[in-house]
Structure 1
């Protein structure tokens, strides 16, 4: 049976099959969560990332986890927030493509960082809606496949954005209906 949850946690410490890195297009490390994941994984991660020839916005690529407790790192490039409709489409693609890639690799637990909410400037309330609706919809659409999804929150502001959305949720998605924090 699949699950969807969120919590304040350090994604570099999550022992899931895969964690999702909010990467830049080069995949060669950077600041924020990207830098933290590269640092925790060790230099082998950078060496493998060099072989991937970068990643386009909304796409996802996978590497080993190396020194991380997770077996794999899924790298996805979120949009730099501009307020345009394509931002939502690209951020949705980040979550969906990451989950599709995890399923292709027969992985059953994935932890996400709050993609694009750091230096890329995506407003937390808007990003929370996309993260929660996209992952819960994916779980419904893939009900034949067991997947545990964790949305990690690096601080209370991210946690509160997720919590506010689920507290006010009135739709029919069972995953979101049963989330009460």
Structure 2
């Protein structure tokens, strides 16, 4: 599996699946989640509302992942995952690793060959970018994601990019 880190906008990535750093409601929010929902258009929200009405009535738990279509995005799917919120006392690195590994498992199950990830929990959820990079890269390297050929970390800002590139070196 090829793993790379780039600076950019995850909503413009031409990959099979884009991972959304969602909140448990699945109904959009700020940061990456809000940007993905805005770019995807109303079809994404409609699919998320359907998930909430059926299989995820109580929301998506931390560390889990679920897929929807991608609406107006160039990807085929959006894989929603909820990273741990350090400000809410969710400090177990295993929860963060699970967000990455569960997303890859979903991608593999869909038949995705390329996946773009943001720095899950590295923004308003309070995790240090270096810790996110360390956990993300190690988890992806150790994952058994059959069929996934490329994982791209799409990062906002020079500091995030530097942290991920240092872990990939």
Gaps of at least 5 residues in structure 2 are: 53-58
Quote the residue 2:95 is aligned against: 90
| Contact residue 12 and residue 36 of structure 1 kept, 8 A | yes
**Displaced runs of 4 or more, over 3 A:** 82-86
Quote the residue 2:85 is aligned against: 80
Alignment CA distance shift 1:83-1:40 (3 Å): closer
User: What is the 5 A alignment of 1:140-159?
Assistant: 141-142=144-145, 145-159=147-161
3-state secondary structure, aligned to 1:52: helix
Deviations 1:136-155 (A, max 9, x none): 111xx45x634210011111
Quote the residue 1:127 is aligned against: 132
- Provide the C-alpha distance between the structure 2 equivalents of 1:23 and 1:100, rounded to a whole number of angstroms: 17
Q: RMSD across aligned C-alpha pairs, in angstroms?
A: 1.7
Aligned pair count reads 163
Alignment CA distance shift 1:137-1:51 (3 Å): same
Gaps of at least 5 residues in structure 1 are: 167-179
TM-score, normalization: structure 1?
0.85
Bigger CA radius of gyration: 1
3-state secondary structure, aligned to 2:67: strand
TM-score, normalization: structure 2?
0.91
Deviations 1:104-130 (A, max 9, x none): 111111000110111101110111000
| Contact residue 112 and residue 147 of structure 2 kept, 8 A | no
| Contact residue 22 and residue 80 of structure 2 kept, 8 A | yes
- Provide the C-alpha distance between the structure 1 equivalents of 2:136 and 2:76, rounded to a whole number of angstroms: 22
1:66 correspondence with 2:68: no
1:109 correspondence with 2:111: no
1:83 is displaced (CA, Å) by 9.9
